[in-house]
Amino acid sequence: MKKLVFGALLYVLASCHGDNSVRVPAGIISPDSMVQVLTDVHIFQATLQLGYFKSDSVQVTAKAFDDILKKHHLTQGEYSKCLEYYCYHPDLFDDIYEKVLNNISKQKAELLGKKHL
């Protein structure tokens, strides 16, 4: 009986100590890359909403968004596929958005710090 309990304990410990990296399928960017993409996308969306991006043209706005995707070596289709994948994996998506919010907060703090200089 002790061997069974000891074996089960070893199994649990080994399982908990396994590789913590997330493996996503081919064609889906890593969670860390998705953090960078979504950080840029949300900053761009904020500039639109706050009126800092001066363009009434849908084409100009779409081109600016495409430029963000190109920066991250993504097409619109790839971005949509990655976004859909992470939407279906809410634990991963929650971790991604926590990092996105941290990135945006850091960038905001840096900008506010520069304003006061």
Over residues 56-88, the pLDDT tens digits come to 778 888 898 999 999 999 999 999 999 999 999
Q: What is the torsion angle, in degrees rounded to the nearest 10, for the CA atoms of residue 26, residue 28, residue 33 and residue 39? A: 180
pTM score, whole prediction: 0.74
pLDDT above 90: percentage of residues in the chain: 56
State residue 115's pLDDT score: 67
Outline where 1-117 has alpha helix (H): 2-16, 31-50, 58-71, 76-87, 90-115
